Amino acid sequence: MRLVAPASWSPPGPVVTLPAARERSLPVLRARRNEPCPCGSGKKYKNCCMRADQIGASREVNLSSGEALLLTDLYQFAQLPRFNAALFAAFGLYWGGTYNIAAAEVLGQENLRAMLEWFIHDYPVDSDGQHVIDLFIND
């Protein structure tokens, strides 16, 4: 799904697609424990990103098929065009202005998933203060 910015917003770079739930896959072991972390921190992988990758992998493996289907539907619902303006605003707020939507590719799948989960559960998307999860349940 491609996100479309509101007319009043102009991106500094290309607009990217956030990963939809069906496009997600388990993290691939990018480096061995004692090799430098591929994120570029200079630390060993085991002291940097390995734990986050393992947690993300175990979280998805432990989902039942019904839970995985529901999560897929929720992620797709959150990326409907009706939420685009809120999603663009939330993206800037979540990253404290450090990143914009054009930088989504460099943030990594786990970071984008965490941001999208925050958006779904905590970011008010309408004038009534409702969250995506509320609208999903009522839809």
pTM of the model: 0.56
- Report the alpha-carbon distance of residue 29 to residue 44 in Å, rounded: 13
**What are the tens digits of pLDDT across the range 81-109?**
999 999 989 988 998 888 777 777 777 77
**What are the tens digits of pLDDT across the range 111-136?**
888 899 999 999 999 999 999 999 99
Residue 78, exposed/middle/buried by CB under 10 A (0-12, 13-18, 19+)? buried
